Amino acid sequence: MRKQYPCVEVDLSKITYNAKQILSMCKNKGIDVVGVTKVFCAEIPIINALLQAGFTHVGDSRVQNLKKMEQINCKKMLLRISMESEAEQVIKYSDVSLNSELKTIKILSQKAKEVNRTHNIILMVDIGDLREGVLIKDVLGIVKEIMNLQHIKLVGLGTNVTCYGGVIPDRDNLMKLVNLRSEIKNLYKLDLPIISGGNSSSLYLVMNGSIPKEINQLRVGEGIILGRETSFGGPIPNCYDDAFILKGEIVEIKDKPTVPTGKIGMDAFGNKPHFQDKGIRKRAIVAVGRQDIKVDGLFPLDKNISIFGASSDHLLLDVTDSASPLKVGDIVEFKMDYGCVLASMTSNYVKKYYEKQPEYSLVNC
Ligand SMILES: *Cc1c(COP(=O)(O)O)cnc(C)c1O
Q: Is the minimum distance from the CB of 200 to ligand 1 under 6 angstroms?
A: yes
- Quote the number of domains for the chain: 2
Please give the average pLDDT of every successive group of 10 residues along the chain, which has 365 residues: 94 97 97 98 97 97 98 97 97 98 98 98 95 96 98 98 89 97 98 98 97 98 97 95 98 95 87 90 98 97 97 97 97 98 98 74 37
Do 352 and 301 meet the contact criterion of CB atoms below 8 Å apart?
A: no
pLDDT at 166: 87
Residue 184 lies in a domain: yes
Q: Is the minimum distance from the CB of 82 to ligand 1 under 6 angstroms?
A: no
Task: Tell whether 68 and 205 lie within a shared domain.
Answer: yes
Task: Tell whether 49 and 149 lie within a shared domain.
Answer: yes
Q: What is the CATH number of the domain that holds 71?
A: 3.20.20.10
Residue 85 lies in a domain: yes
Q: Annotated catalytic sites, by residue?
A: 38
Task: Tell whether 345 and 297 lie within a shared domain.
Answer: yes
Task: Tell whether 131 and 251 lie within a shared domain.
Answer: no
Question: Which atom of ligand 1 has the smallest separation from the CA of 200?
Answer: 9
Rounded CA-CA distance 308/178 in Å is 49
Task: Tell whether 118 and 191 lie within a shared domain.
Answer: yes
Q: Is the minimum distance from the CB of 37 to ligand 1 under 6 angstroms?
A: no
Task: Tell whether 164 and 307 lie within a shared domain.
Answer: no
Task: Tell whether 86 and 189 lie within a shared domain.
Answer: yes
Do 43 and 61 meet the contact criterion of CB atoms below 8 Å apart?
A: no
Do 227 and 236 meet the contact criterion of CB atoms below 8 Å apart?
A: yes
Three-class SS of 4-19: CCCEEEEEHHHHHHHH
Q: Is the minimum distance from the CB of 21 to ligand 1 under 6 angstroms?
A: no
The whole-model pTM stands at 0.94
Residue 1 lies in a domain: no
State the Rg of the chain over Cα.
Answer: 23
Residue 6 lies in a domain: no
Do 322 and 305 meet the contact criterion of CB atoms below 8 Å apart?
A: yes
Comparing C-alpha atoms, which of 56, 41, 54 is closest to residue 95?
Answer: 56
Q: What's the domain range around 317?
A: 244-355
Rounded CA-CA distance 70/121 in Å is 19
Rounded CA-CA distance 107/115 in Å is 13
Instruction: Look at the chain and count its residues.
Output: 365
Q: Where are the alpha helices (DSSP H) in 137-230?
A: 139-147, 171-188, 203-207, 222-226
Domain boundary, last residue among 226, 254, 285? 226
Question: Which atom of ligand 1 has the smallest separation from the CA of 158?
Answer: 13
pLDDT at 299: 98
Rounded CA-CA distance 185/192 in Å is 8
Distance 238 CA to ligand 1 centre (A): 22
Question: Which atom of ligand 1 has the smallest separation from the CA of 132?
Answer: 13
Q: Could you give phi then psi for residue 346, rounded to 5 degrees?
A: -85, -25
Residue 17 lies in a domain: no
Do 287 and 5 meet the contact criterion of CB atoms below 8 Å apart?
A: yes
Task: Tell whether 219 and 253 lie within a shared domain.
Answer: no
Three-class SS of 71-110: CCCCEEEECCCCCHHHHHHHHHHCCEEEECCHHHHHHHHH
